[in-house]
Structure 1
Amino acid sequence: MNMRAAGQAEMLCYVLIYIRFIKDNSLANAVLSVLVVFISQFIQQMVILYEHRFRVGAEEVEHGEELSTIFKVLMRSIRYFQIAFLLQFFSSMGYHLTFDISEDVCSWKHGYIFTDVIGEFDCGRGGKLFVFGLDLVILLLELLAFDENFTKCVRSPDGTLQETHLDGYEFHRYGIFSILRFDSYNIEAHELKFTSDRHDVLQAERYGSTV
């Protein structure tokens, strides 16, 4: 995976969020979903900024305070992501417990006007299972986008893709679910670490990747 994967996951998220909104006009779910993706993109920019400041100011004595501030904003953003994602998850699950396709979708005359590719005009087809599937895929894509934005969004001066490391964030062990296990309130290390894996980059170049 590379930095393009995050952008592709985010774009697919937006498409599915749009389809999801068309499906049942659930504005709350759409807003929470977009908010989660937006926070993920903001976190990516903070990691890039941190790495750039660390590299440029590595020989400066007073760059530590600036890095500390960026790190605090980053940790707060991660907490916001966790909170927003959990809100979206529980809101979605609660929604499906009370969701009535006949009342909430079929009675909405604009509900199926845009994407007649899965039998939308036959309101019974797909039903609640399709909406639930959309929510599940969106949630997983949001976790994927976050992981890519946080761990694989910076490069060294020679163009080598770097991985972001932070104590307690075990993405090699838990994959995209690492953020759900990460304790952003009791983090011990107050800095990010970056390591390069040249083998992965060479392997990607071998298959014609643009990373």
Structure 2
Amino acid sequence: MNSAEQLTLVCYTCVYLRYMKDGSLLLAVLAAVVVSLADFLATLTTTYLKHNSHPHHDSFTPTDSPVVRAIVLKALRYLQVLLLVQTAYLLPYHATLAQPHGFVDLRIIDERDRQGSWQLWALDLAVTLLELALISEALRPEYAGRRLALPQLQTHRYGILALLRFDTWSPAVCRDGPELSVVAKPTTRYGSTATATEPPDARAHG
């Protein structure tokens, strides 16, 4: 089981615990959609990386860069919207949790655990961070000593929060989609210890 599969398992476990704790169906559905879309993005980027890592790859195959870049851009936009909707729902939800009928949500079992509200906060935070980690993993697949990089997201600087500050509507990104680069796999991956730049000759721009 690789790291992405482990993160997915932990995320679904937290979603299940969250649902069993409070019975909010909408939150569970939103989380499942985010995880599924992140999994689709991981499959797409991994296929693109394997295709472009081959020494004799054909640029006219279905994994050609403009198509992949356009799909990646749409996926990133959808993920940003889903995370925004999830957060916009959570904040007033927790603010009105103590009121018997203070918020409209989809429930199978209508029960509220006022004494355990900090547990709900912890689970919601864990699910959100796991979702961001899954998206980050999906954007950095590795294969045969190479990995895919999206320089415009600056994941080496912002880590799992890169998606939240990435402007998917900027003219440069909207015109061509996010830049996809196949680079040599670094020895470190996240945070301040990550490699900030890659050697120019190591890049194979998409």
The verdict on a shared fold, with TM-score over 0.5 as the criterion, is: yes
- Counterpart of 2:13 (choices 12, 15, 24) is 15
**TM-score normalised by structure 2 residue count:** 0.75
Q: Distance in 2 between matches of 1:154 and 1:185?
A: 27
Change in 2 beyond 3 A, CA 1:58/1:83: farther
Change in 2 beyond 3 A, CA 1:63/1:56: farther
Cα deviations across residues 78-125 of structure 1 (Å, max 9, x unaligned)?
Answer: 111111111111111121111128679xxx99689xxxxxxxxxx564
Q: Distance in 1 between matches of 2:59 and 2:20?
A: 54
How big is the shift at 1:53?
Answer: 2.8
Structure 2: unaligned runs, 5 residues or longer: 190-206
**TM-score normalised by structure 1 residue count:** 0.73
Q: Identify the residue that residue 205 of structure 1 maps to in structure 2.
A: none
How big is the shift at 1:55?
Answer: 3.4
Task: Indicate the SS of the match to 1:76.
Answer: helix
**Counterpart of 1:149 in structure 2: which amino acid?**
A
- Counterpart of 1:48 (choices 46, 49, 55) is 46
Q: Identify the residue that residue 97 of structure 1 maps to in structure 2.
A: 95
Q: Distance in 1 between matches of 2:149 and 2:40?
A: 18
Aligned-residue Cα RMSD (Å) equals 3.0
Q: Distance in 2 between matches of 1:179 and 1:165?
A: 13
Q: Identify the residue that residue 143 of structure 2 maps to in structure 1.
A: 155
Contact 1:57 1:63 in 2 (8 A): no
1:195 aligns with 2:177: no
Q: Identify the residue that residue 123 of structure 2 maps to in structure 1.
A: 134
1:67 aligns with 2:65: yes
How big is the shift at 1:144?
Answer: 1.1
Structure 1: unaligned runs, 5 residues or longer: 113-122, 202-211
Task: Indicate the SS of the match to 2:121.
Answer: helix
Task: Indicate the SS of the match to 1:11.
Answer: helix
The structure with the largest alpha-carbon Rg is 1
Contact 1:10 1:37 in 2 (8 A): yes
Contact 2:149 2:181 in 1 (8 A): yes
Cα deviations across residues 142-167 of structure 1 (Å, max 9, x unaligned)?
Answer: 1111111211x2302xxx2x332223
**Counterpart of 2:180 in structure 1: which amino acid?**
L
Q: Identify the residue that residue 180 of structure 1 maps to in structure 2.
A: 164
Q: Identify the residue that residue 115 of structure 1 maps to in structure 2.
A: none
How big is the shift at 1:189?
Answer: 6.3
Change in 2 beyond 3 A, CA 1:94/1:110: closer
**Counterpart of 1:170 in structure 2: which amino acid?**
Q
The total of aligned residue pairs comes to 181
